[in-house]
Structure 1
């Protein structure tokens, strides 16, 4: 007796994008309901810093890191298929290189989930750097690989545009956040428009949310290539007792 399991690969990027979006939305709503943060553009990490939303934040982002890693690995294997149709050795190198960046980006998401800013802020910031900055480099390399591939011109331009926006958004978030906290001395979870550094704070949080949305959209674009690739499936065979 043989049991064969098959998976539609193009569902993975959509599932990943939807799951991460739900994680951010649910934690944001719970944090607002509990009055832990100000409703106008809090930091993403602030919406998962205090219980009970911190528990939801940690669990959902851990799952998100796993889903994203699976999506990135499928992308890695999908690009490998093009290595056998006449692409240069550089294509193979950049594919492997991007997979390493993808792994560390997923690790960063897990660190952000498990080391909240209220408990271990240094590890939390390292995780945020891996998730956003290293993740942005992953997107840039993938945009380059897409440009060399047989993908449509529209998809190539979309990935190039999204990836090129990530770096300046990350820099803006980091710089504005650092400058705003130099002027701020109140409750870090509840910024008010009368607080010093409030404008810089809004720039930082707004660009962080935009950056997160763009990365989610980027992951979702893998749906296009995954539709043309089929997974052979896992096969389980029940052997008769002898």
Structure 2
């Protein structure tokens, strides 16, 4: 008998992603693969050895995000079946399940396609991960506000407050990444962004015209990532009473059937345990007689 405490999935999703991001940055900066202040997060997963660490932990994070989405789907579905079985809102759960699965694949795209070889797929994966996750959070908050008893109202408000700046920082990152918003003119002309090196890493040093633009883009991405992972971690509270149990040893369907029958209560409210006991004794007697 194996029992899994489901809040472990959002916690593992946040922690593994955070470990991958920070370790990738630390290794890359220590080996002088990136400038210490402040690279784009994905640049910590371009070169060896940081690429292996970055990709491995992000793949695990995507897997745990996938499991978390399934557990939340089951949890919300059970809640609706108990409290509002005829409410059409249950169809929204299928959309949310699709979005969270799509977002989990975004994690793997970011992990396995680096910016220097698979920039297009890497960018698509980042959009799937962030935008898909934010849409999912928005739907989840709407569900929580519709059903006030589903989770803590204070926690729902906190999530709602965090979703807005997270979306803003994601947009700032994309805006300042390649657009010269605050790039000062040189000799009356705004310089083009320096071409990426062969390894795909932007090494824009302090004092260069594009440095402030790059700094805002990179810092916005880091802040958005921390907020995003924090929101994921808060989902553990909603799953705190949900467990998944697997029976790895008892594969006899007759025993499973007997246990199911013994838990049935008849219409008069009387337990059928006595009848089950008699049937078990009769079955054991029959099997003994047959063997002899």
User: 2-side partners of 1:24 and 1:234: how far apart?
Assistant: 36
Q: For 1:77-116, what aligned pairs fall within 5 Å after superposition? A: 77-84=74-81, 85-86=83-84, 89-116=87-114
Structure 1 residues without counterparts, runs of 5 or longer: none
1:183 is matched with: 192
1:168 is matched with: 168
TM-score, length basis structure 2: 0.76
User: 2-side partners of 1:87 and 1:217: how far apart?
Assistant: 32
Using the TM superposition, give the Cα deviation of residue 60 of structure 1 relative to its aligned residue in structure 2, in angstroms: 1.5
User: 1-side partners of 2:86 and 2:14: how far apart?
Assistant: 31
Describe the shift of the 1:215–1:234 C-alpha distance in structure 2 as closer, same or farther (beyond 3 A).
Answer: farther
Please state whether the residue corresponding to 2:39 is helix, strand or coil: coil
* Contact 2:20–2:58 (CA under 8 A) maintained in structure 1: yes
| 1:180-228 superposed Cα distances (whole Å, 9 cap, x missing partner) | 4973215543221212221111111111111111111111111111112
User: 1-side partners of 2:86 and 2:209: how far apart?
Assistant: 54
Matched, 1:23 2:20: yes
Structure 2 residues without counterparts, runs of 5 or longer: 184-190, 253-290
User: 1-side partners of 2:208 and 2:86: how far apart?
Assistant: 55
Cα-Cα RMSD: 2.0
Larger relative contact order (Cα-Cα within 8 Å, sequence gap ≥ 6): 1
| 1:59-84 superposed Cα distances (whole Å, 9 cap, x missing partner) | 22111110111111111111111111
Structure with max Cα Rg = 2
* Contact 1:83–1:92 (CA under 8 A) maintained in structure 2: yes
User: 1-side partners of 2:177 and 2:193: how far apart?
Assistant: 10
User: 1-side partners of 2:23 and 2:206: how far apart?
Assistant: 25
Please state whether the residue corresponding to 1:155 is helix, strand or coil: helix
| 1:120-155 superposed Cα distances (whole Å, 9 cap, x missing partner) | 111111111111112211111111112223122211
> Which stretches of structure 1, 4 residues or longer, exceed 6 Å deviation after superposition?
none
TM-score, length basis structure 1: 0.91
User: 1-side partners of 2:115 and 2:9: how far apart?
Assistant: 30
